[in-house]
Structure 1
Amino acid sequence: MKAIRFKEPWKVDCVEIEKPTPGLGEALIKVKMAGICGSDIGAFRGSNGLVSYPRIIGHEIAGEILEIPDDNKKGLKVGDRVVVDPYLYCGHCYPCSIGRTNCCTDLKVLGVHVDGGMTEYFCHPADMLTRLPDEIPWDLAPISEPLTIALHGIHRGGLIAGEYCVIIGAGPIGLLAGMVAQAYDAHVILLDLVQERLDFAKSLGIEHIINSGKEDVVERISQITNGNMAQQVMECSGANAAIRNAFDYVCNAGRITLTGWPKKETLIPTDIITRKEIDIRGARTSAGEFEEALELIRSGKVDVRAILTKVVSMDEVAETIIDIEKNPGNYMKVNVKMD
């Protein structure tokens, strides 16, 4: 079968590998569509220190079940359309015991720590599959995975209707988080340095946009919120300066969720944390959020098609990844049709 593999940094190929055989408790899936993620581009560059090589990529995966144990917990059957939860957890460490499986002390992510699913066939634990609603076409299904990450950041901040939510970074996760927040009837203020991305966000219906390189962000947020500042700030860029600035954007007794991954430590103002009594919460990947993500897509409350740049074939993946790395501003989400 065909698979997309990084032999080493800067080396991506469509290769032939052996079709897998499912192990105990696993399902065999005919992969229909897989997404290219920003983390895949980091792995291509060699800048993701968690990735080992050679590595088959792919953690945004949707397909059809060909084989599955009869006793699987979700009652899935051969022929069912499913999406894959790519975060493999041990099930017995402390985080797993309290349901926070994304914080597993031995977490393994598809396409990062272990081989992923940008392949024609893929085996995965049967209990880590979620049925795909009939109304959702294959080309949109993989976007449910980044949507779970956006959802997890919103959930970690406890956002409720009527609150103001500042989102830093108008990439795919920030845009999805903005659409989720508005689906929750909150007021979104989206920040970015790139005006074209902000204009695109506005075209999606995002309520407020601020160019953080050209405007006084604190003043603008104060104006929008009638001087109160934001109840939740969700940092999606991973930029150290943006992380620091989040403390100026949040209101007294507000919450900050950190979804972006900075490459180095950030000096943070502990005096502001104490004075405002800010809650700071990490937000890593997702845990149990696929069903809600799929319902938001099915209902149209989050328009994921708006961020789908294009669909390519497996034979086009290598050149597409190379171009995304060179021209990231030309892309939001790219999915790969596997047959």
Structure 2
Amino acid sequence: MRAAHYTGPGSITVAEAAAVPPRAGEVQIAVAYTGICGTDLHILHGHMDQRVRPWAVLGHEMSGRIRALGADVSGWQLDDPVTVMPTIWCGQCPACRAGNSHVCHHLTFVGIDAPGSMQAYWTVPADLLVRLPASLPLAHAALIEPVAVAVHDVRRSGLRLGEHAVVVGGGPVGVLIGLVARRAGAHVLLVEPDQYRRSVADGLGLRTVDPAAVEVGHLVEEWSGGAGAAVAFEVSGTEPGLVAAVRALAVRGRMVLVGIHPTPRPVDLHRFFWRELSLVGARLYDRSDFDEAVRLVAGGAVPTEPLISRIEPLEAARQAFQALEDGAGVMKVLVDCQAASR
């Protein structure tokens, strides 16, 4: 079979790889689609070389069908449609014992610390499987993982009905957070400089603003009746985005840090003191977030199809990464992991 490998900073190589037969407690999945996300770009840039070694197989946003079952696997059948919650925790560390296994001290993130899904056939522990409805197109289901991220982020915010929420950064996760927050009954404003991304969010009924055209803090004050936003989600991973998120918050507002900031950032701590603000980290998700994501996508409450900008065959994985990196006219790029084997 073929697989897409990280082969050093700036390099993705598609090459032959041996399919791994499932052992006891494992399943082999015929991967339909794998999405590329911001974390994958961080890997490509070499920012995660302390965890990801050359010839690692990337990918963790995926959908597919069960191809083979290992011994002792029950409750699953061949051809069942599935996605994977790509986290393996130790169960013994203080975080796990406190019920926070999704941020286990020794967490293995599949697709970073272990081989990922950008390959034709992928073998994983059966307890990572998440069942998909048969009616849900597999291309749409490849976005279940980022929807689970959005569900977790909104839950972490403590968002309440009728509150104002600002989302800074209108990539796929930012838009999904906006949709989940709106579903929770919030008034949502999405801040995004890219016109194409704003147009996608506009098409989904979200209110958007270009931060180059207005002063975001002043706009939020007017929009919120002078109070500011109860919640700001910082999804951009940029210093200007961080500044805008803090500036948007009302007294006792909550900022949820979603974007990955690879370097330390200056933060206006005086404003945190003066307004009694809270900073909340939101790293991953748990099983209930995945289950809710499946329900929202399958039921149409959070549409994922409008976020899919292009689909490339596995052989063109490097071009798929480049399309996302270039950013022009692109939201989510999927890799068709079966195209090369048909």
Residue in structure 2 matched with residue 67 of structure 1 by the alignment: 69
1:225 maps to which residue? Answer: 224
1:227 maps to amino acid: G
State the shift of 1:70 in Å.
4.3
Q: TM-score, with normalisation over the residues of structure 1?
A: 0.93
Is the CA contact 2:200–2:306 (under 8 Å) kept in the aligned structure 1?
Answer: no
Residues 25 and 72 of structure 2 are in contact (CA less than 8 Å); yes or no, is this contact kept in structure 1?
no
The one-letter code matched in structure 1 to 2:189 is I
Of 329-338 and 179-188, deviating more is 329-338
* 1:1-339 superposed matches below 5 A: 1-49=1-49, 50-65=51-66, 66-70=68-72, 75-206=75-206, 208-288=207-287, 289-325=289-325, 327-339=326-338
Change (3 A) 1:272 1:198: same
* Number of residue pairs matched by the alignment: 335
Q: Distance in 2 between matches of 1:290 and 1:42?
A: 24
TM-score (norm 2): 0.92
* Whole-angstrom CA distance in 1 between matches of 2:203 and 2:269: 37
Are the aligned partners of 1:52 and 1:112 in contact in 2 as well (CA < 8 Å)?
no
Q: CA deviation at 1:123?
A: 1.4
* Greater Cα shift, 38-47 or 275-284: 38-47
Question: 3-state DSSP class of the match of 1:102?
Answer: helix
- Cα shift at 1:264: 1.5
Name structure 2 gaps, 5 residues minimum: none
- Give 1:77 deviation, angstroms: 3.2
Separation in 2 of the partners of 1:68 and 1:205?
45
Whether contact under 8 Å (1:70, 1:77) holds in the other structure is no
How far 1:95 sits from its partner (Å)? Answer: 1.6
Question: Could you list the runs of 5+ residues in structure 1 that have no partner in the other structure?
Answer: none
Determine if contact 1:32/1:63 at 8 Å carries over to the other structure: yes
When residues 215 and 252 of structure 1 are mapped into structure 2, their CA distance, relative to the original with a 3 A threshold, is same
Residue type of the alignment partner of 2:59: G
1:106 Cα deviation from its structure 2 partner? 1.3
The two structures, once aligned, show a CA RMSD in angstroms of: 1.8
Overall identity of the aligned pairs, in %: 30
Q: 1:130-168 deviations in whole A, cap 9, x for unaligned?
A: 100122111111100111111111111011221111000
| Aligned amino acid, residue 59 of structure 1 | H
Using the TM superposition, give the Cα deviation of residue 78 of structure 1 relative to its aligned residue in structure 2, in angstroms: 3.2
In the TM superposition, what is the alpha-carbon distance from 1:10 to its structure 2 partner? 2.4
